[in-house]
Amino acid sequence: MIPGEGLAVSEALLLPGVLDAAQAAATVRSILAEQRADGAIPWFTGGHLDPWDHTEAAMALDAAGEHAAAERAYRWLAQRQNQDGSWYAGYFGDGAEGVSNAAVESNFCAYVAVGVWHHHLSTGDDGFLDLMWPIVRRALDFTVGLQLPGGQVAWRLDEDGGAVQEALLTGSSSILHALRCGLAIAEYREEPQPDWELAAGRLQHAVARHPERFLDKARYSMDWYYPVLGSALRGPQAQRQIAEGWDRFVVPGLGVRCVSDRPWVTGGESAELALALWAVGQSDRALEILRSIGHLRHEDGSYWTGYVFEDDAIWPDERTTWTSGALLLAVAALGGDPATVAVFGADQLPAGLAIEGCC
């Protein structure tokens, strides 16, 4: 049987000029076709997977109503969590067991909280939450343990287990989002996590007020929009952030550059920017961005990772589940899918403890 054969997608995934019913179903099937029997979702057949992109693809499956497939993805994470609450940065995705990258990245570990809360909001399944709560708790406890004195979170442990004393703005922004989703789960379960509340407040302050505490990656579009996507910036500050980077990163009609000084637009960054734009009330611009990456769509419904426009060349030669996943989530937000709106809109997520003052 073809994975997802005959599936009927939610109306939230229908967006004029981006996806019609047949196209949405094909994109969902393209992710299901890559999911292994054990639940793992590699980047593509024969490629590896990482916990963050695996989770993003699982969230897209939930937005499409493929809840059983999404649950298999989360059970895969549960079975492979390290004793300290972490996951490795890469695993083989071709059916072979093993680790492809034995380093540990903090935002990869934290993101399970976003996916688990999204799945629960999508399904209302308390039994699933009972299963995954210990996994989320260990993952966020591990991540909070890597928080540096300035509030930012060390971005990785090397293969020897030593933590770097540097932080990435993109990664820490994603961790803030994860902490807020973790706090939402804790609130739902009536199991307060004061350490997470403090960590979230300190991290939000660092991301919003102290960019100097992070490694300088300003060339990368993710450092531009992730403070908005991760909910550290909202209101006028978010609007200023979007305006500041627009001309550097957005290529009209083609999408969003991955790096400001390279002629390469990427589907994942474009879809994530669309999510960030929607979250701060710029839905028209979000729709414009999603329509602009139609040229990355393959006939089977999957999406190419990127396009080098100076050479008129698709590059690299891969169609990734996380690119399709990011696009489906952006469409779901614009289409009003309740779980996706709640998670990425972030209005109702606990904010953690407010940090006042200058430091």
Residue-wise pLDDT for 126-170, tens only, equals 999 999 999 999 999 999 999 999 999 999 998 788 889 999 999
- 3-class SS of residue 316: coil
pLDDT above 90 (res 2): no
pLDDT in tens, 225-267: 999 999 999 999 999 999 999 999 999 999 999 999 999 999 9
pLDDT for the residue numbered 3: 47
* Element (DSSP H or E) covering residue 279: helix 267-279
CA distance readout (Å), 8 to 3, 122, 172, 333? 13, 16, 37, 18
Whole-model pTM: value is 0.96
pLDDT for the residue numbered 181: 98
pLDDT above 70 (res 122): yes
pLDDT in tens, 192-209: 999 999 999 999 999 999
Q: How confident is the model at residue 359 (pLDDT cuts 50, 70, 90)?
A: low
pLDDT in tens, 272-327: 999 999 999 999 999 999 999 999 999 999 999 999 999 999 999 999 999 999 99
What percent of the chain stands above pLDDT 90?
A: 91
Q: Rounded CA gap, 338 and 124, in Å?
A: 12
Would you tell me how many other CB atoms lie within 10 Å of the CB of residue 176?
32
pLDDT above 60 (res 96): no
pLDDT for the residue numbered 178: 98
Q: Where are the domains of the chain?
A: 1-34+218-344, 47-217
Q: Which of 56, 50, 143, 55 is nearest to 101 (CA)?
A: 50
Is 47-217 assigned to CATH 1.50.10.10?
Answer: yes
DSSP for 222-248, written as a single string: HHHHHHHHTTS--HHHHHHHHHHHHHH
